[in-house]
Amino acid sequence: MVSTAKEVSKDGPTDVSRPRMKLVGAVVAVVAAVLVTFLITRPAATTSSFTPLSGLMTLKTMAAESMPYGDAIASPQPTLIEFYADWCTTCQGMSTTMAALQQQYGASINFVMLDIDDPQWAGQVNDYGASGVPQFTLLDAHHSEVKTWVGKVPKIILANVFDQLIG
């Protein structure tokens, strides 16, 4: 017969291995904390990896580097206007796709980004009927609306329309 060591206290019997269980619990908690810290702070493995933070950073970088709206409208090239918001997770998720398209088509198409939360763009939001984000409005060289998409749009669909437009 196997017996386990028990101590008797005024509250009743207790298992002698309880301190060992507390130690195991503490070790598990420390390992979990280290793992969570690693996962949160590690750099993205590739430029196409998406995390909410990397998506927001890409979105902000693209917005800062996009062609100013006035310059795009004065240009004889077609223009893609992206209506976005920093809080929009779909906008963040589309940011790597849009960066790749801008790299591929940037010499032929103006890429403009307008933050719908910025009051200076209220007129454009109204004029182009931006009803959701992201909204992508493609204008031809004469600044007539060719096509509008709202939400997540596959890269191949955008690329096909771009190819037809610049043909």
- SS3 label, residue 110: strand
Residue 76 gets which letter from DSSP?
A: S
Interior/surface letters 26-54, b for 16+ CB within 10 angstroms, e for the rest: eeeeeeeeeeeeeeeeeeeeeeeebeeeb
The residue behind tokens 């949160």 is 40
Kindly list the catalytic residues.
Answer: 88, 91
